[in-house]
Amino acid sequence: MSAPPPQPDASPDRIASGLARLSTVLKQGALRQGSSQQLSPTQQQVLTLVSVRPANSLTLKDIAAHLGLKTPSTSRSVATLVGKQLLSKKTSPIDARAIVFALTPAGRHEAGITTEWPDALLAAIEELAADERAAILRMLIKMIRQLQENGDLPRQRMCVDCDHFHPYAYANPEQPHHCDYVGAPFGDRELRLDCNEQQFAPEHHRQPRWQLFINGQPPKEIA
Contacts with ligand SF4 by CB under 6 A lie at: 159, 162, 164-165, 179, 181-182, 192, 195, 197-198
Calpha distance 26→136 (Å, rounded):
17
What is the C-alpha end-to-end distance of the chain, expressed in Å?
A: 55
CB 82 within 8 A of CB 126: no
Q: Looking at beta carbons only, is 87 or 159 nearer to ligand SF4?
A: 159
Tell me how far, at minimum, the Cβ of 159 lies from ligand SF4, in Å: 3
Alpha-carbon Rg for the chain, nearest whole angstrom, is: 20
Tell me how far, at minimum, the Cβ of 158 lies from ligand SF4, in Å: 7
Beta-sheet strands, E only, within 133-186: 165-166, 177-179, 184-186
Q: Looking at beta carbons only, is 118 or 163 nearer to ligand SF4?
A: 163
Q: Looking at beta carbons only, is 124 or 143 nearer to ligand SF4?
A: 143
Tell me how far, at minimum, the Cβ of 49 lies from ligand SF4, in Å: 17
Tell me how far, at minimum, the Cβ of 189 lies from ligand SF4, in Å: 13
Calpha distance 73→81 (Å, rounded):
12
Q: Looking at beta carbons only, is 66 or 192 nearer to ligand SF4?
A: 192
Calpha distance 174→54 (Å, rounded):
31
Tell me how far, at minimum, the Cβ of 186 lies from ligand SF4, in Å: 7
CB 158 within 8 A of CB 193: yes
Q: Looking at beta carbons only, is 165 or 213 nearer to ligand SF4?
A: 165
Tell me whether residue 138 is exposed, middle or buried, using C-beta atoms within 10 angstroms of its C-beta: 0 to 12, 13 to 18, 19 or more.
Answer: middle
Query: Which is nearest to 41 in space by CA: 77, 79, 83, 86?
Result: 77
Tell me how far, at minimum, the Cβ of 99 lies from ligand SF4, in Å: 28
Q: Looking at beta carbons only, is 164 or 205 nearer to ligand SF4?
A: 164
